[in-house]
Amino acid sequence: MSTNRLKGIFGVAAMLLAGCVVCERAVGEQWKPIGNRKARVVHWGIIHNHSRGKWDAVLKLTNDFEMVGWVDDRASTAMRMAEPSLKGYTNYPCFTPQQVFDEVKPDLIVIECSNSELVGVATEIARHGIPMHMDKPLGTDQAGFAKMSRICERLGVPLQIGYMFRSNAAINKMVEIAKSGALGEIYSVEADLDHSYGYPKYPEYASFYPGGTAYLLACHVIEWAMPIFNDALPAKTYSILKAAPGDPEDALTHSLTILEYPRANVVIRVCSRGTQPCRHIRIDGTNGSMALEPIEDFRTVKHTTGLNEGLARVDKLEVKMYLKVVNDAAKAAGYHTGINRISFPVPTDRYAGQLQELACIIRGEIPNPPGLYEHDLLVHKVSLDACNLPTVDLSEIR
C-alpha cells in the first residue's frame, strides 16, 4: 500500500476529531477507579462490523453499565463492509466528539469506528484519560498504536482490545493446559478462522488492507497463541496471500499465516469462502493432542454481515484431549491416559464476558493488569509481521 494511501486512511480520523483539544492529563494525575457504581458508557462509531455486538452486550450488562449515548461516524469515507443500521442507536443521544470530552465525560468509551480510524480516535481518548474498549485490528502503523498504548500505561488508563476470544472459556482452558506441560513440549498450534460473510463486497473490503484476511483475522489467534510460548516473539512470521476460489485474481481473501518458533509452528488459516461454524483449533505436544470444534456458537455473534440464518445450534463447547501418559502436570489436573473430554457451556454473548471484566477493573474490584499493555504491543507487532509488513523493535518506539 502506498504512503499516500496510508496518509489518506489515517487522515480521516484526524478530520473526525477536528476541534478536539489535545490535553493529556497533567503529570502525576493517574486514572482512578470509579467505585461501586455503574460505568457510564459512550459508544464511539457504528461502522465497525462488531459494533452491534458490542452495543447489545453493554445494554445486556445492566448491573455494570449505563449507556449514555453514541458518536455517529457514518459520514466517514473509510472502507467498511456494509452500511450500518441505525436501529437501536437512535434511542439514545448522539454526541459530537467535543461533547463527549467536554460535557459527557464518560467512564468508558467503546470504540467501534472503522478499522483504519481506530488508533487515531483511541489516541485522543487516551490523552483525555478515559478507559477504552477498542476494537481491532490496530492499524498498520506500529508506532501509532504503541504510542497510544504508552499514554494509557503512563496514566494507568485501562485499555481493553476487542480480541474476540479473550473470554472464550474453552480456548482459555486449552492455553492453560498447553502451558501446564500436560501435553509435553508443544510443537504445533493450528487454527481455522474461515468464514463466508460480507459478500459481494468482501473481496474489495479485505483487499483494501495489507495482508487482507491475515490482517483482519489472524490477530485473534496470535493473541491467545503467543502466551503458550510465554509471549516470546517468533523467530519468523509471514503469510501466503492469495484469492479465495471464485474471487478476483488480485483479492487478498485467502491467507495462510505461519509463526515459526525454534521447535514449534503456529499455523492460521483464513478463507472467505469457508464455513465459520466449522472453525476449529488443534494443539499438539510430545505427550498428546487436543482439539476444539466448533469454537463458538456462531448464531450468537451479532456481526454486521454475519448471515446467521440456518446455522445449527451448539449445545456445548468440548475440548477433546488425548494423552499418551499421565505426567505430573496431567496428574495434578486430574486427567487420565487416553481420551479426556472437557466441556463448557456455550456463552450466549461473545463479548459480554470481556466487557464484564472491564467493568470490574473500572470499579476497582480487580487490578488493571499491568502486563497487558506489553502483551498487546507484542501481539500487534507479530500481527503486522503476519501481513508481511516491516516492523521494528518495540524498544525503538517511544
Per-domain boundaries in the chain: 31-162+353-367, 169-349
Beta bridge partners of 41: 67, 108
Q: Give pLDDT, residue 28.
A: 43
Q: Give pLDDT, residue 20.
A: 41
Q: Give pLDDT, residue 22.
A: 44
Q: Contact, 222 vs 259, CB < 8 A? A: yes
- How many angstroms separate the CA atoms of 56 and 352, rounded? 9
Q: Give pLDDT, residue 397.
A: 86
Q: Give pLDDT, residue 7.
A: 34
Q: Give pLDDT, residue 307.
A: 55
**Identity of the residue numbered 36:** N
Outline where DSSP puts E strands in 207-261. Answer: 236-242, 254-261
Element (H, E) at 179: helix 169-180
CATH for 31-162+353-367 is: 3.40.50.720
Tell me the pLDDT of the chain (398 aa) as tens digits.
Answer: 333 322 333 333 433 443 344 445 444 479 999 999 999 999 999 999 999 999 999 999 999 999 999 999 999 999 999 999 999 999 999 999 999 999 999 999 999 999 999 999 999 999 999 999 999 999 999 999 999 999 999 999 999 999 999 999 999 999 999 999 999 999 999 999 999 999 999 999 999 999 999 999 999 999 999 999 999 999 999 999 999 999 999 999 999 999 999 999 999 999 999 988 889 999 999 999 999 999 998 877 766 555 555 567 788 999 999 999 999 999 999 999 999 999 999 988 999 999 999 999 999 999 999 899 999 999 999 999 999 999 999 988 87
Element (H, E) at 146: helix 142-155
How many CA within 13 A on the CB side of residue 130?
27
Q: Contact, 239 vs 256, CB < 8 A? A: yes
169-349 folds as Dihydrodipicolinate Reductase; domain 2 (3.30.360)
Q: Give pLDDT, residue 309.
A: 57
Q: Which residues, other chains included, contact 96 with Cβ-Cβ below 8 Å and sequence gap of 6+? A: 71
Q: Give pLDDT, residue 314.
A: 86
State the maximum Cα–Cα separation within the chain, in Å, rounded to a whole number: 64
Q: Give pLDDT, residue 16.
A: 40
Q: Give pLDDT, residue 264.
A: 98
DSSP 55-91: HHHHHH-TTTEEEEEEE--TT--S--SSPPP-TTGGG
Place of cell 487420565: 336
Q: Contact, 295 vs 280, CB < 8 A? A: yes
Q: Give pLDDT, residue 34.
A: 98
Q: Which residues, other chains included, contact 43 with Cβ-Cβ below 8 Å and sequence gap of 6+? A: 51, 54, 55, 58, 67, 69, 70, 71, 89, 109, 110, 112
Kindly state the cell numbers that stand for 140.
Answer: 498498520
Q: Give pLDDT, residue 299.
A: 79
pTM: 0.91
Query: What Å distances lie between residue 25 and 28, 44, 156, 262, CA to CA?
Result: 8, 21, 11, 43
- How many angstroms separate the CA atoms of 65 and 362, rounded? 11
